[in-house]
Each structure stands twice: as structure tokens, then as C-alpha cells.
Structure 1
Amino acid sequence: MPLTSLAKGYRAVVLGASGGIGSAIAGELRSDPNCLQLVTLSRRDNSFDITDEESVAAVAAETVDGLHLVFCATGGLVVDGVGPEKSLKQVDPDVMMRQFALNAIGPALVLKHFAPKLVRSDRGIVAFLSARVGSIGDNRLGGWISYRASKAALNQIVRTASVELSRTHPRAVVVALHPGTVATKMTADYSTHHRRLDPSESACAMLRVIDRLTPENTGEFFDYDGLPVEW
């Protein structure tokens, strides 16, 4: 999936590159002849821990300046073996804190340490995997409180960071993306009533969305098909 709207010889980083979606994104970028440099990071392959600021800061410090794309494919619905709650009585503060650490605080740390690495003279994109269930306006089923709230927090982090980054990087785009229900280990037990996309199908779709984004889209939330998702 060539990214034709990025600068020729663009530099990209994929965080969470060992997961189903992250590895598919990395695979597509790796096959793009326009990609000059690709850095892939994950807990499995690099001991990268998005919830540990020292880990995020260390890998960011080793990454070259002038990045054109940072794709954060980290996140989790099941954390430490605990799945989403079905009711209020199942809320566990420790589980909720771990969800927020992974799905919200970690991405904020990515923005803190990787956003300054973005190219200034050209368009740079920072994309985060969010989830439609993080939409407050689209929530009609309830449940999954910790996961929903952590993704809603991520969406606010994306929105807020986009405002600040536009002052120093006026051509930058910070965006949240819903990948669809993707056939990964994370969704295996929670997607009975949804069509499951192949990871490569979702990855190509999201990269097509990214390829169409302009600075006017910064701070927005899109589905994998390119349609906006309400906050």
C-alpha cells in the first residue's frame, strides 16, 4: 500500500509492531518503495513498554528526527487476562487503571516524546488506534466501562495534542482511527455479531485514510473506511 501523499523517502515508526494490526501496518510500509526508513517497536521484539516513560523516552531519543509517520498500534481490550466488564458491579479500580495506562497514558507519552521528532517542513502524521466504542455519542449499549473510558480519554488526548502541535508543526496531522473489528487474538471472544476484517485488510484501509488526510483533519476521529466517527 504505497503512501503517495507523503514525501518521497519518508521515515516511519510503528509502535506495537508485533500485534496483529501493528505487524500488518509494518508489513505494508515495509513493502512501500517510497519508505526510506521504518522503525518497528514492540514489547516482544524490543522490550518496548508504552506504559513506562523511561522506555518510551529511550527509544524516542534513539530515533532520527524528521519523521513523516508515527503509527501507534498499541492497546488492549483484555489486560493481564481480565476482559471488559459487563456491568457496573464488575468495575475493578486496579483493572481500570491498567486499561488507562495502556490505552490512554501510553499514547500521551508517545505524543510527548515522538511528536517533537516530526518533520517540520512537510506533512507529518501521528495516528493512534482508537475504537468506535470509545465514542461517547455512539454509545447505546453500555458496558465495557474501563475500555470505553480509556479510549474516550485517548480521543481527548489526540484532540488536545493536535491543537498544541499545530502551533509548532503547522503541517502535522494527529488522528484517531477505528480499525474495524479485526481478526486478532484480542477480538476472538468479543466479535460474535460483527464481521471480522483480516489484519491486512484493516491496515490497507487505514493507510488509505492516512494518505488522504490534510492538516485540516488534525485532531479528528475516522473509521477505517474514511468516515468520521462522532466523539
Structure 2
Amino acid sequence: MAGRAAILKSWVAAAPLLALLHPAPVAAQQEPSAREAVEPASIAGTYDGSQMEMAAWLELGDDGRYRYALSYGAIDEYSTGTWTRQDGGIVLNSDPSTPPQFELLGTEQGTGAPDAVTLHLEGTGNLPISVFSAVVERDDGTSSLVDFSDGALEIPVVDGGQFVSISLALPIYEIRGEAIPVPEASGKSLYFAFHANSLGFKAFDNAGLFESDGMFLLERYGREIAFHKVGD
């Protein structure tokens, strides 16, 4: 398991990105109605949610803006947007972003391995292809997750069974593409491209962070992050 030094190293790597995400707000006169929307200074501030093998940071600006960053294993994510106070905690709503997506470029029959469907993926960039997977839905109601390893992925068609659909996924970022119907799967090749777009940007949509003992709690990747205000 990584020690505290490794955690701090990962956070130091993420911190410059956080600083560039949103420029410091410029002080300006506001109408009374706008000032009423600004949250109390006692809530605004910088929050540290780091724990073993995870570095996490949250800034709540007194202008109603937030900045968030997390580094956990191979995952580095960030987010910016607006925050509001509500009974029991706060709510985050992210700025607009373009999520990553998988594009089906085309299919060919008879070019893949016999008794298998062959998947090709391009555009993975700096990500190793081993972090990508295929979700296979079969006509018997079962499904399975098959990982890429090196180059094209061959998925056997067993005992004449039929595939209902195949979708590509990037599990570490909780990304799954559109389900593609795959009739007559044996010997078929499917060609995909991955478009990273705003890869790593976490889109919060009315995401509530419950407040407990002065900390704000967030569930990410099966772990509870407790953000506590720096200096408290």
C-alpha cells in the first residue's frame, strides 16, 4: 500500500491543475439580490478530504463557485461549477462539459476470427488499452465484462450462442458507450474510436454532500470522502 509520501506526491501533481481550473474571482459590487445568494463566509473555504491512497480537495468560494480535485490510483478527476447551501449540507452543479464517448466507425463481416467477434479500438491516447473493456449482452439474458489486453479484442461465440449487443467501457472513469447490436457475430469485426473530450471532468448534477460534524461527505469509487475545512 502506498505510504503518506506517495499520497502527498499524487496531490502535488494534481494541485497545479486545480489552480488553473478557474481564475480567482475579481471583487465587484453586487446588487443586494446577488449578495443574498452568496453563502456565509463560515461555510466558504478550502476543504481537505485526503486519506490513505487518495488525495482529495474541495474549495467553496464565497462567490458561490467551487473547485474539486481527486487523485486515486490511476484516476485523476476534477470539477468546477457552482455550489449552494441546503438543509443538511451543500449541493454541487458543474459547469458544462463534453463527456468522453465511443464512436462506432464501422463493421465488417468475415474479416474477424471464426467463431468470435473482434473489436478494434483507436484513439486511446496516453491511456493503456488494458484499462478499456467490452460489455457483452447475450440472448440468454447473461452479460459479461471482457477486458482488452493488447491490440484487438476477440470474444468467442460459444456453442452457437448469439450476442444481443456490445458496448465499450472505461470502468476506471465509470464511462460506458452506447450498446451496439451484433447480429451474426461470428467472424465480424467492429471498429471503434475513443474521444477523450473532457476526460477526467466530474459532472455533478444536483449532487448533495451531507454535512456531519462540520465535514461534507461525498461517495466516490466505493469510498466515503470526508472533507474537513483546512485550519479547523
- Higher relative helix content: 1
Fold-level similarity (TM above 0.5): no
**Bigger Rg, which one:** 2
TM-score range (shorter-chain normalised) is: under 0.3
TM-score in terms of structure 2 length:
0.22
